[in-house]
Amino acid sequence: MSSPEINPKTTQMNRRTFLKRTLATIGGMLVFAIPTYAYTGERHWIEITNHTIASPRIPKSFNGVRMIHISDLHYGHYLDETHLAKIVEQINALQPDVICFTGDFIDQQLSLQDAEKVRSVLTRLSARLGKYAILGNHDYWGDERLVTETLKESGFQVLVNATTTVQIQNEFIRISGLDDLLEGSPDMNQIKSAFKEDQFHIMLMHEPDFADYISQYSVDLQLSGHSHGGQIRIPFIGAPLTPEYSRKYKSGLYQNINRSKLTLYTNRGLGTTILPLRFSCRPEIAVLQLQQQL
């Protein structure tokens, strides 16, 4: 019996068909797997980042002070009190001295019932030198009065065009907060008298790109959010979309803004908005350790 003849063209076609089907299967799996991961995985996978903020203007008694910077919870958009309680537990485990929250506590609306739930969770946040907060644009889209009241009753000092003093022994630093740029009325005139050349000053401002304006004042550190780091980042491309006033300073640490002494930290936030997805852009709790630079 003679062996069957093998047609090279048929073999080549079978290989091509196999390759196409394999690639189509892999592509289909990725189309399903990536959104699933972005929704059920990365959105809950909080990254704790650590940074040192060094300055000769940091008093000796503040050397080693640990500041926790959080932002953009967007409570109500796939983030409830159970999720919030886990975040509070993670923050407390870091034993912060100071907690700074830079706006967008809610996404669209905060009911009286939710406010009560949130209050009972946030009061468990502990920081020996205080908890400080500002409002973001989403807080104004809901009920900014209820948001402000809830934060205050949870132990936060809400700074709206205002300054406060943080003191250890007989030394101190200042923390200021500006109103939201998009929906509020930020007014530097109300706080600029607090800027002193010999005092370390921290500014809380929701929109990071406002740092270009802040850099002309005697401010050492600006803490911001708003960008979510893009929320979805495409490998080798980055974040294709960030909100207005967060397109220049999207994420992370920026030093010597406009050749000034100003350092900016843009936090990626903890929640999501529009789409409940994060990809290549984990939610963040930032630990900023103060260090006196001799």
Question: DSSP of 68-81, one letter per residue?
Answer: EEE----BTSS--H
pLDDT in tens, 146-187: 999 999 999 999 999 999 999 999 999 999 999 999 999 999
Is 161 within 8 Å of 179 (Cβ atoms)?
A: yes
Q: Say how many residues make up the chain.
A: 294
1 and 74 part of one domain: no
The whole-angstrom separation of Cα 149 and Cα 249 is 30
15 and 147 part of one domain: no
67 and 213 part of one domain: yes
Helix or strand (DSSP H, E) at 289: strand 284-292
| Last residue within a domain, chosen from 44, 61, 79 | 44
Helix or strand (DSSP H, E) at 204: strand 201-204
29 and 128 part of one domain: no
Domain count, the chain: 2
Q: What is the CATH number of the domain that holds 65?
A: 3.60.21.10
19 and 75 part of one domain: no
Range of the domain at 35: 1-44
112 and 204 part of one domain: yes
21 and 111 part of one domain: no
166 and 25 part of one domain: no
Residue 26: the pLDDT is 46
pLDDT in tens, 258-269: 999 999 999 999
164 and 180 part of one domain: yes
Is 292 within 8 Å of 62 (Cβ atoms)?
A: yes
20 and 91 part of one domain: no
Q: Residues in the chain with pLDDT < 70? A: 1-32
The whole-angstrom separation of Cα 71 and Cα 139 is 12
Give the residue from 43, 40, 118 showing the smallest Cα distance to 81: 118
166 and 282 part of one domain: yes
Give the residue from 218, 216, 232, 212 showing the smallest Cα distance to 273: 232
34 and 105 part of one domain: no
Is 147 within 8 Å of 110 (Cβ atoms)?
A: yes
